[in-house]
A and B are shown apart, each in its own frame.
Chain A
């Protein structure tokens, strides 16, 4: 195998610095004792983290996001598992079309989805409702679960299913005892990936949230367009920490490289 020369490694170092610099800077500034965003900081303080927990609007937004992400990821999983099994286990007219439809929210800009749902919600008079916000997120994150479920359902050994079936197992038994346990890593990985995507979503949410249902990324976006202070860095550092924890979990359950790059 060809190895990298010094030029390649120097280039790689620059790319890594570029990719990680904004995240590292945010985490450093979060610990500043001062009132400004200057770096390097003179000391070390947790005062801005304490400040975050005194802001009712940020706390509400955080709980909103957490609930929204958990609910919509669960609903997306509940509809994506049967849909994924239908697409991989049966041959039927319109199969490709259905698959394309369910994956299409990945390609359609979130901005377009946002304004489209705003119009629908306004006509129905449900704009700013939390339940409809959940449904909007389900549409956006279903493709992520569906992709992993399809990959898992194609990847498993079918002979176990066939054996159980020929021994007279009912459909429910077959699903609960054979299929589901075998595709579980894909389902759980899909749930986590959907959770992260819902938790981070800002472009669609900004159109269909009200002050009461505002999510954390929307609150942060609005805050950052109005003022910039170290509290924003503390919130960002907390979001980075939470995302990192979820990613470690995702790596244990499904393999981060498989999620990010696809099956290998």
Chain B
């Protein structure tokens, strides 16, 4: 073999700069934050370095205020995920059935908002959903009464669906690309209706894409910060905005660290649980 494939040492040398940076600025800060979540804290004197307690975790478990925010974050993320499936899957299928120039044009148009600052997009939604925004103007023009939309869970859900939709469309689109068009043709020529083809041929094959999209969307929605911060207002807290408050308003860093660790763990737990559930169903469906 060529010398390109020799030299384990050279491989480590090449990845050393990245490894040093990631050890120092990713692994170390995460470990420090885990330790911080056990640090004793006093509002008068601040963080007591070197003394540890479980008080923040017990406080988290015993406070209905925290429960409420975690529960709200969970149901908003679940709803956003469901809406992304209901909108993203049909949209990806429609896109994949378009003709040559339109297909890539619309794919890019649907996905590019991904690259535009989330603050800009949240601001756009606050313009649309505001008291005299376009949505309320349309409601009034149709003879209704203006609604309070901004700073409600509705606004947060709409904003999050807008941000997360590309993350659902991408994996579904990718699995659609792997679909053999001959299978659809065969089913159609054998007399299957379009609905049957969709239900029996297309949907089962895009399922893996939908499932990975679900994981990404739920994870990102549950930890989203800018959208609930700008569209939920001061009163409608989600876990991320709560952590921000603990760090920068309350200055209770250990409690903030505890909440951050809890968010990370719960996220991981939901994802692993979902993965397990899906895997078991797959196995049953395949008769393994």
B253: chain A residues within 8 A (beta carbon): 115, 119
Could you tell me how many residues of chain A have their Cβ less than 8 Å away from some Cβ of chain B?
92
Q: Which residues from 106 to 139 on chain B have a C-beta closer than 8 Å to any C-beta of chain A?
A: 106-128, 130, 132-134, 137
Q: Is B147 an interface residue (CB 8 A)?
A: no
A8: chain B residues within 8 A (beta carbon): 90, 93-94, 97
Question: Is B225 in contact with A203, judged by CB distance below 8 angstroms?
Answer: yes
Out of B33, B87, B226, name the residue touching A202 (CB < 8 Å). Answer: B226
Closest Cβ neighbor of B3 among chain A residues: A165
Q: Is A22 an interface residue (CB 8 A)?
A: yes
User: A89 with B25: in contact, given A9-B94, A16-B106 (CB under 8 Å)?
Assistant: no
Closest Cβ neighbor of A95 among chain B residues: B11
User: A111 with B116: in contact, given A19-B162, A257-B108 (CB under 8 Å)?
Assistant: no
Q: Is B29 an interface residue (CB 8 A)?
A: yes
Interface centre among B18, B116, B181, B248 (most CB of A within 10 A): B18
A136: chain B residues within 8 A (beta carbon): 25
Q: Is B12 an interface residue (CB 8 A)?
A: yes
A57: chain B residues within 8 A (beta carbon): none
Question: Is A225 in contact with B263, judged by CB distance below 8 angstroms?
Answer: no
Q: Is B276 an interface residue (CB 8 A)?
A: no
Whole-angstrom CA separation of A206 from B177 in the bound complex? 39
Out of B25, B121, B219, name the residue touching A107 (CB < 8 Å). Answer: B219
User: How many contacting A-B pairs (Cβ < 8 A)?
Assistant: 267
Whole-angstrom CA separation of A219 from B182 in the bound complex? 53
Question: Is B5 in contact with A89, judged by CB distance below 8 angstroms?
Answer: yes
Question: Is A111 in contact with B225, judged by CB distance below 8 angstroms?
Answer: yes
How far, in Å, is A201 (CB) from chain B's closest CB?
9
Question: Is A116 in contact with B11, judged by CB distance below 8 angstroms?
Answer: no
Whole-angstrom CA separation of A89 from B7 in the bound complex? 10
Closest Cβ neighbor of B197 among chain A residues: A2
Interface residues on B, range: 35 or more
- State the main secondary structure of chain A at its contact with B: helix
Q: Is A123 an interface residue (CB 8 A)?
A: yes
Q: Which residues from 30 to 71 on chain A have a C-beta closer than 8 Å to any C-beta of chain B?
A: 37-39
How far, in Å, is A50 (CB) from chain B's closest CB?
20
Whole-angstrom CA separation of A92 from B36 in the bound complex? 35
Question: Is B110 in contact with A203, judged by CB distance below 8 angstroms?
Answer: no
Question: Is A22 in contact with B230, judged by CB distance below 8 angstroms?
Answer: no
B125: chain A residues within 8 A (beta carbon): 22
Q: Is B19 an interface residue (CB 8 A)?
A: yes
Q: Is B210 an interface residue (CB 8 A)?
A: no
- Contact bitstring A108-124, B, C-beta under 8 A = 1, else 0: 11111101111110010
Q: Is B10 an interface residue (CB 8 A)?
A: yes
Question: Is A90 in contact with B111, judged by CB distance below 8 angstroms?
Answer: no
Whole-angstrom CA separation of A174 from B118 in the bound complex? 42
B113: chain A residues within 8 A (beta carbon): 19-20, 23
Q: Is A148 an interface residue (CB 8 A)?
A: no
Q: Is A260 an interface residue (CB 8 A)?
A: yes
Question: Is A109 in contact with B244, judged by CB distance below 8 angstroms?
Answer: no
How far, in Å, is A148 (CB) from chain B's closest CB?
14
Out of A98, A165, A239, name the residue touching B120 (CB < 8 Å). Answer: A239
Q: Is A152 an interface residue (CB 8 A)?
A: no
- Contact bitstring B239-276, A, C-beta under 8 A = 1, else 0: 01001100110000100110010011001000000000
B133: chain A residues within 8 A (beta carbon): 39
How far, in Å, is B208 (CB) from chain A's closest CB?
15
Q: Is A207 an interface residue (CB 8 A)?
A: yes
How far, in Å, is A42 (CB) from chain B's closest CB?
14
Question: Is A115 in contact with B260, judged by CB distance below 8 angstroms?
Answer: yes
Q: Is B196 an interface residue (CB 8 A)?
A: no
How far, in Å, is A110 (CB) from chain B's closest CB?
7
Q: Is A82 an interface residue (CB 8 A)?
A: yes
User: Which of A's residues lie within 8 Å of B, judged by CB?
Assistant: 1-4, 8-9, 11-12, 15-16, 18-23, 25-26, 29, 37-39, 78-80, 82-83, 85-87, 89-93, 95, 98, 101-102, 104-105, 107-113, 115-120, 123, 135-136, 138-139, 142, 161-162, 165-166, 196, 199-200, 202-203, 206-207, 217, 220-221, 224-225, 228, 232-233, 236, 239-240, 243, 246-247, 251, 256-257, 260-262, 264
User: Can you spell out 21 A-B residue pairs with CB atoms less than 8 angstroms apart?
Assistant: A12-B94, A15-B87, A23-B124, A26-B127, A80-B18, A90-B7, A90-B11, A107-B219, A112-B30, A112-B264, A116-B30, A138-B21, A200-B115, A200-B117, A202-B118, A217-B119, A224-B126, A236-B124, A247-B115, A260-B114, A262-B170
User: Which of B's residues lie within 8 Å of A, judged by CB?
Assistant: 2-5, 7-8, 10-12, 14-15, 17-19, 21-22, 25-30, 32-33, 36, 87, 90-91, 93-95, 97-98, 104, 106-128, 130, 132-134, 137, 162, 165-166, 170, 173-174, 177, 181, 184, 188, 194, 197, 219-220, 223, 225-226, 229-230, 240, 243-244, 247-248, 253, 256-257, 260, 263-264, 267
